[in-house]
Amino acid sequence: MSNQETKPPSFASRSLPVHLARGVIGFGLVAASVVLAPVVGWISLLLLPAGVVALRGCPTCWVVGLVQTISRGRLERKCVDGQCRLEPSRDIS
């Protein structure tokens, strides 16, 4: 077995305000596409892809990114003998 660590995908943003703004935009566009459907028809569904891009894939991806953004620098993933766990970072200032 190799000692190389593979990094899991990161959905985190640069900062919490940036991530929250992405959420407001993404959820707003998804909601608008559904709410406007009876008014303007299927054309409102064109807002859906923009909302999904803002959420980086799906609402769950956005929530995972929120947790990663909040915990960034506070937790580290340590893997030993195939067992991985989260531990507090030693670099906390």
**So where are the chain's domains?**
16-88
Burial 9-23 (b: 16+ CB within 10 A, else e): eebbbeeeeebeebb
Cβ(15)–Cβ(66) below 8 Å: no
Cβ(27)–Cβ(79) below 8 Å: no
CA-angle at 62, arms to 32 and 4, nearest 5°: 155
pLDDT per position as a tens digit, 16-59: 899 999 999 999 999 999 999 999 999 999 999 999 999 988 89
pTM: predicted TM-score of the whole model, two decimal places: 0.68
